[in-house]
Chains A and B, each alone.
Chain A
Amino acid sequence: AAGVIQSPRHLIKEKRETATLKCYPIPRHDTVYWYQQGPGQDPQFLISFYEKMQSDKGSIPDRFSAQQFSDYHSELNMSSLELGDSALYFCASSFRTNLHSGNTIYFGEGSWLTVV
């Protein structure tokens, strides 16, 4: 079965540079979530989109922005990168945002960002 696809898998950037991560959700999933996981940390919710509109916002820095496109893929743009942005960035998708009724969200393998 198709899973959530993230690219690139690994990315090395210098401080103050910009990085873009891409996420392709499971087919027919209309909701995308972004999470950031620092070394030894739990995943932290950044932002989510439903039907191309932002549906929820977490601890996403102002330097970061994201969007969901008409084909439901999503991109996370990170500018003015800092050393502390080094982390594993997960994208996840689900069908509808209806987690209340127990929809499972499925995670990609993540994109490793290293800022040097």
Chain B
Amino acid sequence: SQQGEEDPQALSIQEGENATMNCSYKTSINNLQWYRQNSGRGLVHLILIRSNEREKHSGRLRVTLDTSKKSSSLLITASRAADTASYFCATSGATNKLIFGTGTLLAVQP
């Protein structure tokens, strides 16, 4: 990965359970974003958290950011089968481009 690692690389849960994915990055950032990608499809923006924020919510999504540990987590509550996808974190820092992590493949079993 150009930036960091995501953990776990794959996650399988039952519908209704919560899913937590973690992302670590290497360089200083201005903000961190989470994207979702269905197999072979485009990347859909989910949520953005700025470097001076610690937590952000959007619907069933909760994102945390710990700049001291250079890590972020994405929590999806009450998961649904339709949440099955790959989830990527991406950071932007001194340069105006997004650098992606390796992604977590989430499978939600009905």
Contact = CB atoms under 8 A, between A and B. Distances in A.
Contacts of A25: none
A110 B100 contact: no
Contacts, number: 72
Contacts of B43: 43, 90, 92, 107
B97 A106 contact: no
A2 interface: no
Interface string B77-110: 0000000000010001001111111110000000
A70 interface: no
Interface in B1-52: 1-2, 30-31, 33, 35, 40-45, 48, 50
A108 interface: yes
Contact of A88 (B40, B97, B102): B40
Interface in A4-45: 31, 33, 35, 41-45
Interface residues of B, number: 25
Given A104-B48, A109-B41, A99 B100 contact: no
A101 B102 CA distance: 24
Given A42-B100, A90-B42, A56 B95 contact: yes
A1 to B, nearest CB: 13
Interface of B: 1-2, 30-31, 33, 35, 40-45, 48, 50, 88, 92, 95-103
